[in-house]
């Protein structure tokens, strides 16, 4: 077993990087003075992983929504399910499936070793039968239909379908009623054995913990191996062009809602951290509550405080997104595009750059006080071959010149999509 201390002297922070004999990577950041602990057991397997790599280098297609379905089923066992086991220890447990990962987690203020044992145990021991799979198909089918009436969810996937031709991002994380009907118990075991091999997983822990306790529990409970190694995802052939500039749907909402997206076509499936941080800075300068754009849109009553923005990026996809409620979404689109063009022509000033740089750096520092955020960042960073301090190191390399060069490449009109949800007619 190899145990390394990873330090950042400037931040005065340290965590342990443990290469467990099973093949599992374990990352532990003890935080003195904290009363609670947080742990996440994560696999590099999400809704976009609709292809299982085969030994001969080919890929086998699996139904959309399988990753989410498997997450639901993994909590079950022949005896107590995992939630019931955690309830007895007083821990708060949960799980989630995103586009590119699945995480199983708990937070607690006591019984840490017992809770970690439960987490490692139930994730390692799947229990699927065709009968329970068929029961779950009905439950998740209802969930899928329910989300079709959730405006925030529907507006996002309408946007992705208008933005992407082939990428699995087009499909709801839970899949469709048709796709989950194809899932069988044998198929779940096949996916589990491929994506839940310990070489494709990471255990990240932060808070009131000791590394010795973590290693003791891991040595005792882990009974699998990571012979499969890290999964190589299939790169989808996605054209740089969008499908359509506009998409619209009517739902039961009190006011029109919109999401404006700008598709990006960076050549590498994984966005460099420096670029991601720089786009976040650009968006803060252009659209934060202290910006001229935000003030102007509020003064014209085109937006309210639901207005938001983000740089949405993952394996093989990236887009700048703006969203919120508006009486006139097309007018908001025009205002945003005009403001972006103004910054392209005039450039971001050194003063704007320095103010935003300090603000966002302070926000990153604050994140090191949140054990949930620390553990999740450690896990996600591992899948990108980085560490939790990489953001801070890359942030130092960003210059105002780099921001202005990047501004010429992003948020281009030809790659824009406006997704709108309108109220149902009276």
Domain boundaries, the chain: 2-149+157-221, 246-423
State in Å, rounded, how far the first CA of the chain is from the last one: 67
pLDDT (tens, 9 = 90+) of the chain, 426 residues, equals 899 999 999 999 999 999 999 999 999 999 988 999 999 999 999 999 999 988 888 899 999 999 999 999 999 877 778 999 999 999 999 999 999 999 999 999 999 999 999 999 999 999 999 999 999 999 999 999 998 889 999 999 999 999 999 999 999 999 999 999 999 999 999 999 999 999 999 999 999 999 999 999 999 999 877 777 888 888 888 999 999 999 999 999 999 999 999 999 876 777 789 999 999 999 999 999 999 999 999 999 999 999 999 999 999 899 999 999 999 999 999 999 999 999 999 999 999 999 999 999 999 999 999 999 999 999 999 999 999 999 999 999 999 999 999 999 999 999 999 999 999 875
**H-type helices in 79-236, by residue range?**
82-89, 112-124, 130-147, 151-163, 177-180, 185-195, 211-221
- pLDDT for the residue 426: 56
CATH fold of 2-149+157-221, please? Cytochrome Bc1 Complex; Chain A, domain 1 (3.30.830)
Let me know if the fold of 2-149+157-221 is the same as that of 246-423. Answer: yes
- pLDDT for the residue 225: 75
- pLDDT for the residue 188: 96
- How many helices (H) and strands (E) the chain has is answered by 15, 14
- pLDDT for the residue 23: 93
Q: Kindly list the catalytic residues.
A: 71
- Report the alpha-carbon distance of residue 236 to residue 169 in Å, rounded: 11
Residue recorded with tokens 């191996």 = 225
User: Contact at 8 Å (CB) between 28 and 217?
Assistant: no
- pTM of the complete model beyond 0.85: yes
To 10 degrees, the CA torsion angle through 157, 161, 167, 173? Answer: 20
Backbone angles phi, psi at 420, to 5 degrees: -130, 140
- Report the alpha-carbon distance of residue 62 to residue 43 in Å, rounded: 17
Helix (H/G/I), strand (E/B), else coil: 133: helix
- pLDDT for the residue 33: 87
Class for the domain spanning 246-423: alpha beta
- pLDDT for the residue 228: 73
- pLDDT for the residue 184: 95
């Amino acid at each position: 077993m190899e145990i390394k201390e990873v330090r950042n002297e400037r931040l005065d922070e340290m965590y342990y990087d443990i290469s467990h004999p099973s093949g599992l990577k374990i990352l532990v950041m003890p935080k003195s003075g904290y009363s609670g602990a947080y742990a996440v057991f994560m696999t590099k397997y999400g809704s976009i992983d609709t292809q299982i790599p085969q030994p001969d280098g080919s890929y086998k297609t699996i139904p959309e929504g399988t990753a989410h379905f498997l997450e639901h089923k993994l909590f079950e066992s022949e005896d107590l399910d995992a939630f019931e086991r955690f309830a007895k220890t007083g821990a708060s447990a949960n799980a989630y499936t995103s586009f590119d990962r699945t995480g199983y987690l708990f937070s607690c203020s006591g019984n840490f070793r017992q809770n970690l044992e439960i987490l490692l145990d139930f994730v390692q021991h799947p229990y699927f039968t065709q009968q329970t799979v068929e029961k779950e198909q009905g439950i998740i089918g209802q969930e899928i239909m329910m989300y079709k009436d959730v405006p925030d969810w529907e507006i996002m996937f309408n946007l992705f379908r208008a933005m992407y031709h082939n990428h699995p991002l087009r499909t709801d994380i839970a899949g469709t009623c048709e796709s989950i009907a194809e899932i069988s118990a044998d198929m779940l075991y096949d996916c589990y054995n491929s994506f839940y091999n310990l070489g494709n997983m990471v255990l990240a822990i932060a808070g009131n913990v000791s590394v010795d306790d973590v290693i003791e529990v891991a040595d005792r409970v882990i009974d699998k191996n990571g012979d499969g190694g890290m999964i190589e995802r299939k790169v989808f052939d996605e054209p740089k062009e969008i499908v359509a500039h506009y998409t619209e749907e009517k739902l039961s909402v009190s006011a029109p809602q919109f999401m404006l997206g700008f598709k990006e076509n960076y050549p590498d499936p994984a966005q460099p951290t420096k670029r991601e941080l720089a786009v976040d800075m650009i968006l803060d300068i252009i659209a934060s509550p202290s910006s001229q754009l935000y003030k102007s849109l509020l003064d014209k009553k085109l937006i309210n405080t639901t207005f938001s923005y983000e740089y949405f990026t993952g394996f093989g996809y990236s887009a700048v997104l703006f969203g919120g409620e508006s009486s006139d979404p097309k007018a908001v689109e025009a205002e945003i595009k005009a403001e972006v063009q103004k910054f392209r022509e005039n450039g971001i000033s050194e003063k704007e750059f320095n103010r935003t740089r300090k603000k966002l750096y302070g926000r990153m520092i604050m994140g090191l006080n949140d054990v949930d955020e620390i553990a999740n960042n450690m896990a996600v960073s591992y899948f990108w071959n980085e560490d939790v301090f990489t953001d801070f190191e890359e942030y130092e390399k960003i210059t105002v010149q780099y921001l202005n060069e990047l501004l010429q490449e992003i948020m281009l009109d030809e790659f824009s999509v406006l997704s709108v949800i309108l109220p149902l007619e009276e």
